[in-house]
Chain A
Amino acid sequence: MNRRRAAEGFTMRLAMTPMIDVVFLLLVFFVCTVRFERNEAVYRLDLPIRGSTADPLALQDAPLQVFVGERVGDQCPIEIRADGVRRETKDFDALAITMTQLRRKAGTNEGLFESSHPILIVPSAGSQWQDAVEGFNAAVRAGYANIGFTQSTP
Chain B
Amino acid sequence: MSLLYSRGPARIDANLTPLIDLAFLLIVFFVLVARMGGDQVPPVALPEPRHPATTPAGSRSRLAVNVMADGTGTIVSLGARKFARDEKGTNDLALAIAERIRLDPSIPVDIRADRSLRYELVEPALQAISRAASQVGSQRVTIRVCAIERDDLGREATDHE
Interface residues of A (CB under 8 A from B): 16, 19-20, 23-24, 26-27, 30-31, 33-36, 38-52, 92-93, 96-97, 100, 105, 123-130, 132-134, 136-137, 140-143, 149, 151-152
- Measured between beta carbons, the chain A residues less than 8 angstroms from B108 are 42
Say yes or no: B34 contacts A34, CB within 8 Å. yes
Given contacts A137-B52, A141-B53, contact A128 B116 (CB under 8 A): yes
Pick from B31, B33, B118, B133: contact of A129, CB under 8 Å: B118
- Measured between beta carbons, the chain B residues less than 8 angstroms from A16 are 16, 20
Chain B residue with the shortest CB-CB distance to A136: B145
Closest chain-B Cβ to A68's Cβ sits at a distance in Å of 8
- The docked-state distance in angstroms from the alpha carbon of A1 to that of B143 is 77
Say yes or no: B130 contacts A134, CB within 8 Å. no
Say yes or no: B118 contacts A41, CB within 8 Å. no
Say yes or no: A130 contacts B115, CB within 8 Å. yes
- Measured between beta carbons, the chain B residues less than 8 angstroms from A38 are 148
Say yes or no: A26 contacts B27, CB within 8 Å. yes
Say yes or no: A129 contacts B134, CB within 8 Å. no
Given contacts A92-B50, A141-B53, A149-B126, contact A30 B27 (CB under 8 A): yes
Closest chain-A Cβ to B43's Cβ sits at a distance in Å of 8
- Measured between beta carbons, the chain A residues less than 8 angstroms from B161 are 100, 105, 143
Interface residues of B (CB under 8 A from A): 16, 20, 23-24, 26-27, 30-31, 33-34, 43, 46-57, 108, 110-111, 113-123, 126, 129-131, 133-134, 138, 142-151, 157-161
Which of A23, A41, A46, A96 counts the most chain B CB atoms within 10 A?
Answer: A41
- Measured between beta carbons, the chain B residues less than 8 angstroms from A125 are 118-120, 123
29 A-B residue pairs with Cβ-Cβ distance under 8 Å, sorted by A, are: A23-B27, A27-B27, A30-B26, A30-B30, A34-B34, A35-B43, A36-B33, A39-B149, A40-B46, A41-B54, A41-B57, A41-B148, A42-B55, A42-B56, A43-B54, A43-B144, A43-B145, A43-B147, A44-B144, A45-B145, A47-B130, A49-B138, A128-B116, A128-B117, A129-B114, A129-B122, A132-B122, A137-B53, A142-B160
Given contacts A44-B142, A128-B115, contact A134 B49 (CB under 8 A): yes
- The docked-state distance in angstroms from the alpha carbon of A34 to that of B147 is 21
Say yes or no: A93 contacts B27, CB within 8 Å. no
Say yes or no: A47 contacts B117, CB within 8 Å. no
- The docked-state distance in angstroms from the alpha carbon of A137 to that of B70 is 26
- Measured between beta carbons, the chain A residues less than 8 angstroms from B57 are 40-42
Closest chain-A Cβ to B148's Cβ sits at a distance in Å of 5
Chain B residue with the shortest CB-CB distance to A103: B161
